[in-house]
Structure 1
């Protein structure tokens, strides 16, 4: 089944630090479970330095036709025991028949380890 994955969207709660700057609090954020999506590998890179080894792994999340996804670039995605950051803007593909409607969404996410 191509749309058999379930992800959890984590929308951070915005608070302010003592200097008045916005701080994103993911621990206190709103969590929304989204079933029926497809998560596919996107890319992976490795960097080795004297200080540390770093691996960046990416995935792309696809929604089925007719499903718009309420996700923003500051959200995080939990999937398969991983917490990933949303990369860039969300691609909302226009519906070819219904003007103004979304056909499907594509969301790039990544996890950095090391």
Structure 2
């Protein structure tokens, strides 16, 4: 028999853009190309959902995954504009707003979070 926590086995980091000085502005700007990676304090589950391939002239593979947090956890900084890094190597975009499922026993609390992720190669 498999232990219940065994699917929550991936580390997760959320990208936070760095504020840098700009030669074109007196105010700092956000650098999305070189983010600071902020680790999430608990392991998550990332499962494959689907993949597709595109035009043979210019091959593109789109892989979609599902991110699920353990019961009783949330990633408050995660939004539709976020990028995440799974296992320290796989960078994914969050597609759409993450679903924060309400806890059926604790009013106003999040039971768990589910988010669609996407990786585009090509």
Q: TM class by shorter-chain length?
A: 0.7 to 0.9
Which 4+ residue blocks in structure 1 deviate beyond 3 angstroms? none
User: 2:84 matched to 1:77?
Assistant: yes
Structure 2 stretches lacking a partner, 5+ long: 1-5
Is the contact made by 2:17 and 2:32 (CA closer than 8 Å) also made in structure 1?
A: yes
- Which residue in 1 is equivalent to 2:63? 57
CA shift in 2, pair 1:23/1:47, >3 Å: farther
Deviations 1:32-76 (A, max 9, x none): 1123111100110101243x0000001111001100112111111
Deviation at 1:86, TM superposition (A): 0.6
| 2:81 corresponds to 1:41 | no
Q: CA RMSD in A?
A: 2.3
Cα shift at 1:12:
2.3
User: Aligned to 2:105, what secondary structure does the other structure show?
Assistant: coil
Aligned residues: 111
TM-score (norm 2): 0.78
Change (3 A) 1:87 1:14: farther
Runs (5+) with no aligned partner, structure 1 = none
Instruction: Classify 1:105/1:65 alpha carbon distance in 2 versus 1 (closer, same or farther; 3 Å).
Output: same
Which structure's CA Rg is the greater one? 2
TM-score when scaled to structure 1?
A: 0.83
Structure having the higher strand fraction is 1
